[in-house]
Chains A and B, each alone.
Chain A
Amino acid sequence: MRRFFNSPAWLLAGATLMLAACASTPEVDPRQIQQAEEAIRDAREVADRHAPPALTRAEETLNAARRRIDAGDNDEARRLLEQAQVLAQRAEHESLAAQSAQALTEIEANLAALQRQIESGPRGSASPQPQ
């Protein structure tokens, strides 16, 4: 297919066709909208206190896609939906990474406290508590 379209003649023909058929591009598949919405919902669930900027951007992009659909610009709407979905996925991954980093920081701090407790010797009430 790609080789076929790589030929200059077809490129020109295709471009002409695209320009001509611009108003009559097929409708946006509602499942694509659902997918973007679901991705945003998932990302919001994973993000706790601090939602990553990508999540806000995903929501804005979804809204922009809806406006494109209303305007009849279905190609751009599809791209925006794709972008909204991937932004939401990115937000989810970033939240998870931030949470792991946070957990690591806490564990390191606990570990340091434990180390101090052990170094202060087994006397007194210094029986280390399992975290």
Chain B
Amino acid sequence: MRFSPARRRLYAPVALAGAVLLVLAGCASTPESDVLQQAQAEYDAAVSHTRIYDFGNRNLQEAERHLRRAQELQAESESREIIDHHAFMARQYVAMAEAQLQRGLSREQIAQADQRRRAMLLQAQEQQAAAASRRAVEAESELEESQAELAAAETRAQTLSERVGELEVEIDERGTVFTLSDVVFDFDSDELSGGGERTVAQIAETVEQYPQGQILIEGFTDSFGPDDYNQKLSERRAQAVKEAFVEAGIDAGRIEIEGHGEAYPVASNDTAEGRQLNRRVEIVVSTDGSEVARREDR
């Protein structure tokens, strides 16, 4: 008999009684039932699993009860039918205890899986939140950067026009057009005045921010004086600005010059104010890197 030690202790007297009984009765002993042996083996296998008592304890007790009964009946040489019946019952209860063990283990794992799933979802949410806030911070700093750039550009433009008052900046289809008034030149000269040099240097600095831009410098005069003189003066003034640009570090290859003389007036030559507006140098910077369109081409 292979019961647990406690059971063995408990049933030793019964076994002894059975043995004595057999001897006394002198009957031919019944050979041990195959079903009982099988039941005993299955029971032993089941209880060797440490967790089975956590899940199938009640059915295990039932199995044990039937097994014990079958052992007793065997000892009493009861009929094979009845011994086998109890052995059969024991086997079913063992199977139930095992099914309960399997179910219990599965459910424990399901609970663990559920916890893992929660942890994963939390992790995913944190990842998403982190990514979102990272994107938000990036967007914000980009916005701040561009706002700062805009403010700086505005400040530069304002300082430029405040300090100089002799420069106009506008954007037309040819590109960015800087218009230098004639006050940057000495009277009737192609020499830049001291203030004129500073203004041109500042334009050069601005132009450097468009490293791709091609530059066309155009000179204009009013209608006062001979045409060919005016033509040459406009060319020389454009050339003077080009030289100032090159001195400021702009690649000469990017710069084209052109003198237009008294052509293309922007105001009437009949008034002093109008003539002053017509005496000018325009610096056109293409923003897309292409050559600046010539006036004749238009």
Contacts and interface: CB of A to CB of B under 8 A. Distances in A.
Interface of A: 6, 8, 11-12, 54, 76, 79, 82-83, 86-87, 89-90, 93-94, 96-97, 100-101, 103-104, 107-108, 110-111, 114-115, 117-118, 121-123, 127-128, 130-131
A80 B69 CA distance: 17
Give 10 nearest A-B pairs by CB, closest first. Answer: A100-B106, A93-B99, A97-B103, A97-B99, A97-B102, A86-B92, A122-B128, A79-B85, A100-B103, A93-B96
B214 to A, nearest CB: 41
B106 A6 contact: no
Interface of B: 17, 21, 24-25, 76, 81-82, 85, 88-89, 92-93, 95-96, 99-100, 102-103, 106-107, 109-110, 113-114, 116-117, 120-121, 123-124, 127-128, 131
Contacts of B102: 97, 100-101
A87 B99 contact: no
A115 B120 contact: yes
A11 B123 CA distance: 73
B89 A100 contact: no
Contact of B88 (A83, A100, A114, A127): A83
Given A8-B25, A86-B89, A111-B113, A93 B103 contact: yes
Which of A76, A96, A97, A103 gathers most chain B CB within 10 Å? A97
Contacts of B120: 111, 114-115, 118, 128
A108 B113 contact: yes
Contacts of A87: 92
A34 to B, nearest CB: 19
A90 B113 contact: no
A8 B81 contact: no
B81 A76 contact: yes
A89 B120 CA distance: 39
A6 B95 contact: no
A19 B179 CA distance: 133
B85 A83 contact: yes
Contacts of B107: 100
A122 B21 CA distance: 79
A22 B81 CA distance: 15
B3 to A, nearest CB: 17
Contacts of B114: 107
Nearest to A99: B103
A131 B113 CA distance: 12
Which of B99, B114, B124, B127 gathers most chain A CB within 10 Å? B99
Contact of A128 (B24, B76, B88, B121): B121
Contacts of B131: 122-123
B106 A94 contact: no
A86 B117 CA distance: 38
A83 B89 CA distance: 7
Contact of A82 (B89, B99, B116): B89
26 contacts: A6-B17, A8-B21, A11-B21, A11-B25, A76-B81, A83-B85, A83-B88, A83-B89, A86-B93, A89-B92, A96-B103, A97-B100, A101-B102, A101-B103, A101-B106, A104-B106, A104-B109, A107-B113, A107-B114, A108-B113, A110-B117, A114-B121, A118-B124, A121-B127, A122-B131, A127-B128
